[in-house]
Amino acid sequence: MCAPMNEHSDITDQLCGLLDIGSRRIERVEIDGRLFWIKRPENLKPRMRLQKGSPHAAFERERTALRTLNALGAPVPALLVDRPDVIVTEDSGVDLLRLRRHRKHHDVTGHFFDGGAALAQLHALGHAHGRPALKDICCQPTRATIIDFERAHPALNTRRGMARDVVLLFINGMNVLGGQTPEIDALKDGYRSADQSGLWDAALEWSRNLTWMCIATRPAHWLPLPLVEVRKLPQSRDYFRDQRKAR
């Protein structure tokens, strides 16, 4: 049974006819020139289940978060079909990571500004993402949208949880972009422009944890493994330390 949102009922009727045909975890479909994403719980092997946890619990967290955030008017994709075994959302455009990679010779800082503002808007509604990354923020010409709420949880909807969101996003951004780039600065400016509760300052304080995290993970630097995030933690630590000094 589908649970459509009224304003999208015509499209939802067509989507419902597709849901029992496919079986892939994530499918991209086009109807009447519009793009939509079908998402189902992930099928994990036992080893990956131990590492990532229950895929059905993660799916239910995302489903619940999207339902709640749609009702609040948050910068998230419209939830068109809401079932225990499948959800369908409206396409939100290109994520910041792909946007940066595919437009290396174009100025995309405006999109990063919008992405930072979108996270601040989510926080202003009292909700944390859980573990935001550049690939979780999608852009269209007129708006930025946040996706992938599998790590969302009510326990994270605190000032500390939102501050942690900010730091994790910037760690990811500096890892994949190679340091403090103009896009990182735009992301910061966008977040601060929409920060209504001083969460940027809270993030700067939370970032002090990066000092001991760098110490604790130092042995991993010598392992022959692609631990990019671990090896680049010092640059994130230094970035936030400089931001604290500049206050």
- Identify the residue with better confidence: 32 or 66: 66
pLDDT tens figures, 175-200? 999 899 999 999 999 999 999 999 99
Q: What crossing angle do the helices spanning 182-194 and 109-124 adopt, rounded to 10°?
A: 30
Position 145, amino acid: T
DSSP code string of 29-80: EEETTEEEEEE------HHHHHHH--HHHHHHHHHHHHHHHHHHT-SS--EE
Q: DSSP class of residue 104? A: T
Lowest-pLDDT range, 3-17, 131-145, 170-184, 223-237?
Answer: 3-17
The letter for the amino acid at 224 is P
CATH architecture designation of domain 94-245: Orthogonal Bundle (1.10)
The closest alpha carbon to 26, from 95, 88, 68, 97, belongs to: 88
Q: Work out whether the CA dihedral 218, 219, 223, 225 comes out positive or negative.
A: negative
- pLDDT for position 87: 93
Quick one: pLDDT at residue 96?
97
> Which of the pair, 43 or 97, is modelled with greater confidence?
97
Angle at 157 between CA 235 and CA 144, to 5 degrees: 65
Task: Kindly give the pairing relationship between strand 86-90 and strand 26-31.
Answer: unpaired
From CA 31, how far away is CA 14, in angstroms rounded? 8
Q: Counting runs of H as helices and runs of E as strands, what totals does the chain give?
A: 11, 7
CA distance 238 to 14: 51
> What's at 10, amino acid-wise?
D
pLDDT in tens, 152-161: 999 999 999 9
pLDDT on residue 10:
66
d(CA 18, CA 34): 15
pLDDT tens per residue, range 82-95 = 999 899 999 999 99
Choose the weakest-confidence range: 88-92, 99-103, 188-192, 242-246. 99-103
As a whole number, the mean pLDDT across the chain is 87
Residue 33 confidence (pLDDT): 86
Q: Tokens for 8?
A: 């999208």
DSSP letter at 164 equals H
